[in-house]
Structure 1
Amino acid sequence: MTNKATTKETITITVGSTDSLHIRIPYNLAYIQCIRQITARRWEPKLKVWIIPYTIDAVQEFIS
């Protein structure tokens, strides 16, 4: 009998303020490369979240 561990990768999006979204993603180079494509994004090391503008353009970039 073998036990297989399952890993659940969850992306969490919360409203940081009226003009920003906080995004938590699992450490995955593909995810990080994608989020780095978003204009005006930044990494907040203390909170361990990516912060993107709360705009239609930024959200569309994130979704694609």
Structure 2
Amino acid sequence: MDLTPHATRFPSCGGCQKPCSTTHEYCERTVRDLPILGRAVRLSVLLRRVGCRDCGKRMEAVSWLDR
């Protein structure tokens, strides 16, 4: 399953949680999720690396994704 960020939503800094308007780059991560009907589930998540004024370059915060 592929998950991409919503184009009109600004990402939040993974450090200070403040909204960031600049995206430095995109990184694709594969996340293992719980199995469904006995089948393995893998999520392909496109994350943004943001330029935060306070923290510098950080990965965006995703509320449902653990570090």
Give TM class, smaller chain: under 0.3
More strand by share: 2
Q: TM-score, normalised by structure 2?
A: 0.25
Q: TM-score, normalised by structure 1?
A: 0.26
Higher RCO, 1 vs 2 (CA within 8 Å, ≥6 residues apart): 2
More helix by share: 1
